[in-house]
Structure 1
Amino acid sequence: MLFRELLGQHSHIGKLLAGSSAGATAVLLTYPLDTIRARLAFQITGGEKYTGIVHAATSIFRDEGGLRGLYRGFVPTLCGMIPYAGLSFYCFEMFKLLCMKYIPDWTCAPNSRNTGGLVLLVPAKLMCGGIAGAFAQSFAYPMDVTRRRMQLAMMSPETHKFGLGMVQTLVLIYKENGIFKGLYRGMSINYLRAMPMVAVSFSTYELMKQALNLDTGLKL
């Protein structure tokens, strides 16, 4: 609402800022849980170090500098989330506009309540969301790799070098493994995860707006 009032309802910058702000807020509030999840998942192959969520949280807080330990890797996560959330939101709106403007017979149904008189069909919602997610992930993925290395850095002495800071970790990953086998390692499987996740997220968001009789159309 704030960006809409400041920049206008159809501002591209406003859409980017809205998505980025939402993503950054979500990461800020939930990041310690993501760190704990990563530690618990890793210890399946790395030996039992934590007995559960509470034990992992208290151990990290006690042994690794309090909140600094729980938020290790937060900066690269934020640096990745801001373009990821902003681009995914922006791209979804742009793909949605293209569908409504150029191929409405295949992707839309009439809806008199919406701006433009059209509503995107569910298969088209899923398609736009999936493509938007893949596009955004392509830009943000190296930061996701950096975040994960930093989260797991204190699990063994050999990996402590990845916990010194974002820039140092990025440089180390690049020097040791390069771009495709380092910064983009696992990208293909990440597409298989991210595309359906973002597709379902945006589709659910749009369907809930429709259920509440809110405008999901666009000015064509």
Structure 2
Amino acid sequence: MSELLPSIDQTKKFLKQDLVASFIAGGFAGAISRTIVSPFERAKIIFQIQGPGKGNYKGIFPTIFNMWKEEGVIGLFRGNGINCIRIFPYQAVQFYVFQNLKLNFFLKSGNSEEKELKNIDRLIAGGVAGIVSVYVTYPMDLIRTRLSIQTAQNLSNLSKNKIRISSSQNPPGFWQLFIKTYKTEGGVLGLYRGVLPTTVGVAPYVALNFAIFEQLKEILPDSSAFSKLLMGAIAGGVSQTAIYPFDLLRRRFQVLAMGNNEMGFKYTSIFDALMTIGKKEGWRGYYKGLSANLFKVVPSMAVSWLSFEVIKDCLVIQL
């Protein structure tokens, strides 16, 4: 009878394979999904950093059309290269940390026969995974945000916008912008500008995303591709909507030091930002770009979860 049970060595080998597969699958799933929705991602960022007053960018599809008209196809994917380079380790770390906590801490600390986490455990594991992934990849996220907006035209209602670079000029690349930010904005601290509101937003987002998806897997045991797409879409849409104001703060803090306050907003803290946005832009100001974000997040997370599940299953078999 004991021969039918897996040995300790076999169990350790399986856990190691599962973690490696989760890391690789998570990275590829992130890169694939973000590339598919890149135009919506850039449109969302432009909406978010468009300060008080009326800017030139209104509506999701008109904005995407303007990007295409002003900058060509490359404009639709501006910043996506660095985003993929960032998102690979970002999501790889997320899935790895979540699976690691799930397999080596929560399940071991509870009932040995338990196969799934409780919702509170999922939220904690997801939150920790989100925090770790943010700090590992944050400088790339900051530079990617700045790459996304530097050629966008008329971001605010101000007549002088020194931030914008004409689409006819060759904008600085990643390393140029990285070095400039490092030298002129306080070294490493400059590369982590806005990391606190980012962490405040990402941790609950990742926690909810993992918890909702895994809960839906229990409710809808159907393992078809369509079911995984549906569960990923629901998990991404609900979790992103719940924490969206913090995502907006994340983008605004990332571009505060660009130029001389030409963006039309300036904040001293997260609390000050929340109060200022409420006073100057009303409650709608907290949700600028939400529709563009949902156009991005819903299909992105649907594809991401499906890609993760498929790639991980293939890798576990091969490893």
Aligned residue in 2 for 1:156:
259
Cα distance in 1 between the residues matched to 2:227 and 2:272: 42
Q: 2:151 aligns with which of 29, 41, 44?
A: 44
* Equivalent residues of 2:106, 2:117 under 8 A apart: no
* Structure with greater helix share of residues: 1
Aligned residue in 2 for 1:176:
280
Q: 1:20 aligns with which of 127, 138, 144?
A: 127
Give the alignment of 1:63-142 within 5 angstroms.
63-100=184-221, 108=222, 120-142=223-245
Cα distance in 1 between the residues matched to 2:147 and 2:174: 8
1:161 CA drift (Å): 5.3
The runs of 4+ residues in structure 1 deviating greater than 6 Å are none
1:124 CA drift (Å): 0.2
1:10 CA drift (Å): 2.7
1:104-157 Cα offsets, whole Å, 9 max, x none, are xxxx2xxxxxxxxxxx11100000010010000011111110011111111132
TM-score of the two chains, using structure 1 as the length reference: 0.81
Q: Aligned residues: percent identity?
A: 34
* Equivalent residues of 1:73, 1:166 under 8 A apart: no
* Equivalent residues of 1:18, 1:86 under 8 A apart: yes
Helix, strand or coil for the counterpart of 1:44?
A: coil
Aligned residue in 2 for 1:115:
none
AA aligned opposite 1:185: K
1:18-50 Cα offsets, whole Å, 9 max, x none, are 222222211111111111111122210333396
Name whichever of 76-85 and 158-167 sits farther off. 158-167
Aligned residue in 2 for 1:117:
none
Q: Residues 172 and 50 of structure 1: is their aligned pair in 2 closer, same or farther, counting only changes over 3 Å?
A: farther
1:208 CA drift (Å): 3.2
Cα distance in 2 between the residues matched to 1:13 and 1:64: 39
1:170 CA drift (Å): 2.0
Cα distance in 1 between the residues matched to 2:185 and 2:119: 42
1:61 CA drift (Å): 1.3
Name whichever of 182-191 and 14-23 sits farther off. 14-23
- Tell me which of the two structures has the higher relative contact order, counting C-alpha pairs closer than 8 angstroms and 6 or more residues apart: 2
Note the residue ranges of structure 2 that are not aligned, 5 or more in a row: 1-102, 153-162
Aligned residue in 2 for 1:193:
296
Cα distance in 2 between the residues matched to 1:36 and 1:183: 23
Residue 166 (1) aligns with residue 273 (2): no
Q: 1:146 aligns with which of 231, 240, 249?
A: 249
1:165-216 Cα offsets, whole Å, 9 max, x none, are 2222222222211222x11111111001001111112112222343325xxx
* Equivalent residues of 1:31, 1:74 under 8 A apart: yes
The number of residues matched between the two structures is: 194
CA RMSD of aligned residues (A): 2.0
1:95 CA drift (Å): 1.6
Cα distance in 2 between the residues matched to 1:41 and 1:206: 30
Name whichever of 71-80 and 42-51 sits farther off. 42-51
* Equivalent residues of 2:150, 2:164 under 8 A apart: yes
Q: Residues 7 and 77 of structure 1: is their aligned pair in 2 closer, same or farther, counting only changes over 3 Å?
A: farther
AA aligned opposite 1:44: T
Cα distance in 2 between the residues matched to 1:176 and 1:7: 50
